Amino acid sequence: MILGASFDTPAENKAFAEKFSFNFPLLCDTTRAMGLAYGATEAGASGGAKRIAVIIGPDGKVKQFVPKADSRSYPTEALKDL
Amino acid sequence: MLKAGDAAPDFKVKDHLGNEWTLAKLAGKNAVIWFYPKADTPG
């Protein structure tokens, strides 16, 4: 499964999901805590999350960390590998 | 930076529809968490 994640509010992400008919959840990490834990931002940084992706296996362990997942097509591409 | 084999960090966040997600909710499946800078930006 795919989960999008950004620091946007639910309203912003809802508009995004509707505009592009995304059929996966968009996580609204408004506190940036998740982004910090996952390396999508740094302490004290402002602005948006970095375009990274993390693939997590069924055991809850990281299978792959993708430091540059920079296109909108990334999630679909990643799914092909799973 | 996270690397293969690390335990994925736990989290608790809501999605755009108000559903709550945690790491535990992903157990048993492969999951891709894809971060992007801002809703509705070109990419």
Q: Give residue B40's domain range.
A: 12-43
Question: Quick one: pLDDT at residue B42?
Answer: 60
Question: Quick one: pLDDT at residue A56?
Answer: 97
Question: Quick one: pLDDT at residue A33?
Answer: 97
In a domain, B3, yes or no: no
Over its length of 82 residues, how does chain A's per-residue pLDDT go in tens digits? 999 999 999 999 999 999 999 999 999 999 999 999 999 999 999 899 999 999 999 999 999 999 888 776 777 777 777 7
Q: Flag whether the ipTM exceeds 0.85.
A: yes
Is B40's CB within 8 Å of A19's CB?
yes
pTM of the model: 0.90
In a domain, B7, yes or no: no
Distance to chain A for B12, nearest Cα, Å: 8
Strands A2-6 and A26-28 turn out to be parallel
How many domains does chain A divide into?
1
In a domain, B4, yes or no: no
Q: Give residue A49's domain range.
A: 4-81
In a domain, B6, yes or no: no
Question: Quick one: pLDDT at residue A38?
Answer: 98
In a domain, B5, yes or no: no
Tell me which residue has tokens 């992706």.
A53
C-beta separation of B35 from A47 below 8 A: no
Nearest residue in chain B measured CA to CA from A73: B43
In a domain, B1, yes or no: no
What is the CATH number for A57?
A: 3.40.30.10
- What's the CA gap between A1 and A55, in Å, rounded? 10
How many domains does chain B divide into?
1
